Structure 1
Amino acid sequence: MTQLKAAIIGGGNIADTNHIPALKQQPDRVDVVAVCSRDQAKARALADKHGIAHAFASTNELYQQCAPDVVVICTPNNLHYPQTMEALEHGSHVFCEKPPAINAQQARDMARLAAQKGLVLAYNFQLRQTSEWALLMRCKTSGLLGDIYHIKAHFLRRRGIPGWGYFTNKAMQGGGALMDLGVHVLDLALCALDYPTPDQVLGNAYDFIGKTGGKGLMGSWKPETFEVEDATMAYLSFPGKASIMLSASFALNTQADKDRNLEIFGSKGGVKLFPFSLHTELAGELADVQFPYLEDNDIQLKNTAAFLDACEGKPSNVCTAEEGAILQEIVERIYQSAGR
């Protein structure tokens, strides 16, 4: 097996706690050779912390000196497109943080260039690697669910507007709760339906709490500079009458501080994903089946491994460039429907 050279672009928490540790646990497959951040000191500190040789403030220097086989992009959303395109032009496979981009055209361009170059472009939707998701796929493949026709997907925070970073800056993030949280469960819902494109999209977006302020559970934010939505609700209808109801919030007056789940309804059975339960009919009686022995996984490690599998030409369930483009188009259509 040929060891791949990997570079990290972005010196923040997601690189430090997620991507670098996951890559470092696979030394036979990949060698992390460089960190690149606009802040040279930040790049150097992160590289030193993880025993990485090179630290750059310029991507030009990164490509000239290291020629990485793989680039992992962990930067604000507005940088995903230019940095992915640059990496692909330099012949690097790309593992990009979610969401794919700021708009649908960017995501389509990224997918098109990756295909032209014969390179892997994938996105870090790591919930695909949970034990619950793997079990759902087995239930679907074995026919226990029948035809899936409706999915309720939500990722809600009660008062979880981030009090740090760029999460409330529309120019940098492209949106709020939908872009940051909703895309995770939207990806799973689309996967369960084999990633179709909806023929109808209806969305509503709100900013009542974000604009007025109040108690926060993830730090304080400035209502006067809050530019994104604090909650989005959407209904997607697909050819063949399948549908998705999607809800995402940074701030919503609900009971739980955080609530993330999917409910999947099929013609033979249904599933609630977290914790996993199967709702069906057995021996002529209604039955709820629990699965108490599912193992916890390091889902970032597994998703990074899935990306490396794709780079090595092996089967992989990592989110592809084409799927990312479909998802980004749906996000854009939801925002358009909501007047944002």
Structure 2
Amino acid sequence: MPAFRVAIIGGGSIADTNHIPALKACSDQVEIVAVCSRDQTKARALADKHAIPHAFADADAMYRACQPNLVVICTPNKFHYPYTRQALSWGCHVFCEKPPALTAQEARDMAELATEKGLVLGYNFQLRQTPEWQLLMRCKAEGRLGAIYHIKANFLRRRGIPGWGYFTNREMQGGGALMDLGVHVLDLALMAFDYELPDRVVGNTYDFIGKAGGKGLKGAWNPDTFEVEDAGMAYLSFPNKASIMLSATFALNNQVDVDRNLEVFGSQGGVQLFPFVLHTEVAGELADITFPYLDEVDIQLKNTVAFLDACAGKPSTICTGEQGARLMTVIDAIYASAQGGTGL
């Protein structure tokens, strides 16, 4: 019998195309017992599509009837916090979509409750599972980079404001490009610094293109209801004088349609992450070393396995509740700085 009885909360495309297929690939460990959505029809349709036996619009009713011990949360950002607290209170491990929450205080509260209950809380930052990132971590561990002192972390879209869903709704999402895209590369950059927190944060956000309206590569959007940033930039400085430059945009007047990358600079070597290039010296000469034979992997499946490993008490690369709280502390500080505050 599988060790985990899994319930899915949220009936949208992330559950449909990412989480449910990955969980089904782990059928030796997992049985998906229910789907819950605020829209009963949506929950039933998703359950039927994937041959999941039960569908609910009320989460408490689902817990009583199906007794899951692991919950995957795929809702809009606003509901990460209440559904995570509810699941933890019912004694379930929680695998939550990114970003962790709307605020650092919510993320901290979730992490503390998971610790109090002796349960695992993890977040779905799949870029940790790319072969390129795993290789970077090995290069770091082997000393090939020396002391890392600066990182450029970009997730830029030229015209990629989503024309559907809640992505431009501040109440539901908490923010725009930083919350949806920037958190992915910020997670990696903070990992490279062992998830230490910066002591200075300067951030700016913009909405020029979002407020102007138009049609982009992800459909048209309504400028009258555009409430979030279409671009967010930040400079993070750490106590040891290391630094991160973070840029995240839904829309930016640049050349390429999408630029998602990290550039990592160390005292002995540097790395461009995608595609992976190691900038170093060999036999006294400058060298750029490429790795053309890295495996192609299903990063959602690998991240799901990493979460299941954590739940089973095994070593894991999953983003933890504590890391999620630290990440949201930085995001809060960027928004505070952009609004004229002092950040951290």
Query: 1:160 aligns to what?
Result: 160
Structure 1 position 23 matched with structure 2 position 43: no
Query: 2:266 aligns to what?
Result: 266
**Structure 2 CA distance for aligned equivalents of residues 12 and 101 of structure 1:** 18
Deviations 1:152-208 (A, max 9, x none): 000000000000000000000000000000000000000111001110000000000
Query: 1:313 aligns to what?
Result: 313
Query: 2:339 aligns to what?
Result: 339
Structure 1 position 4 matched with structure 2 position 32: no
* Matched pairs, number: 340
**Structure 2 CA distance for aligned equivalents of residues 60 and 313 of structure 1:** 27
Deviations 1:242-286 (A, max 9, x none): 100000000000111111000000000000000000001111110
Equivalent residues in 2 for 1:1-340, closer than 5 Å: 3-339=3-339
Find runs of 4+ consecutive structure 1 residues off by over 2 angstroms.
none
SS at match of 1:183: helix
Segment of structure 1 superposing worse, 274-283 or 208-217: 208-217
- Is the 2:215–2:221 contact (alpha carbons within 8 Å) kept by the matching residues of 1? no
- Is the 2:153–2:189 contact (alpha carbons within 8 Å) kept by the matching residues of 1? yes
Q: Which runs of 5+ in 1 are unaligned?
A: none
**Structure 2 CA distance for aligned equivalents of residues 274 and 250 of structure 1:** 20
SS at match of 2:220: coil
- Is the 2:37–2:56 contact (alpha carbons within 8 Å) kept by the matching residues of 1? yes
**Structure 1 CA distance for aligned equivalents of residues 169 and 91 of structure 2:** 32
**Structure 2 CA distance for aligned equivalents of residues 225 and 41 of structure 1:** 27
**Structure 2 CA distance for aligned equivalents of residues 288 and 197 of structure 1:** 31
TM-score in terms of structure 2 length: 0.98
**Structure 1 CA distance for aligned equivalents of residues 101 and 155 of structure 2:** 20
SS at match of 1:194: coil
**Structure 2: which amino acid aligns with 1:221?**
W
**Structure 1: which amino acid aligns with 2:79?**
L
SS at match of 1:215: strand
**Structure 1 CA distance for aligned equivalents of residues 198 and 86 of structure 2:** 31
**Structure 1 CA distance for aligned equivalents of residues 242 and 319 of structure 2:** 21
Question: Post-superposition shift, 1:214?
Answer: 2.6
Deviations 1:67-119 (A, max 9, x none): 11100000000000000000000000000000000001000000000000000
**Structure 1: which amino acid aligns with 2:105?**
Q
**Structure 1: which amino acid aligns with 2:68?**
P
**Structure 1 CA distance for aligned equivalents of residues 81 and 41 of structure 2:** 25
- Is the 2:2–2:27 contact (alpha carbons within 8 Å) kept by the matching residues of 1? no
SS at match of 1:31: strand
Question: Post-superposition shift, 1:2?
Answer: 5.0
- Is the 2:91–2:119 contact (alpha carbons within 8 Å) kept by the matching residues of 1? yes
Deviations 1:125-154 (A, max 9, x none): 000000000100110001100010100000
**Structure 2 CA distance for aligned equivalents of residues 106 and 35 of structure 1:** 24
State the identity as a percent. Answer: 73
SS at match of 1:244: strand
SS at match of 2:216: coil
Question: Post-superposition shift, 1:216?
Answer: 1.1
- Is the 2:2–2:31 contact (alpha carbons within 8 Å) kept by the matching residues of 1? no
**Structure 2 CA distance for aligned equivalents of residues 228 and 26 of structure 1:** 37
SS at match of 2:202: strand
**Structure 1 CA distance for aligned equivalents of residues 256 and 317 of structure 2:** 31
**Structure 1: which amino acid aligns with 2:53?**
A
- Is the 2:214–2:221 contact (alpha carbons within 8 Å) kept by the matching residues of 1? no
- Is the 2:168–2:225 contact (alpha carbons within 8 Å) kept by the matching residues of 1? yes
Question: Post-superposition shift, 1:215?
Answer: 3.1
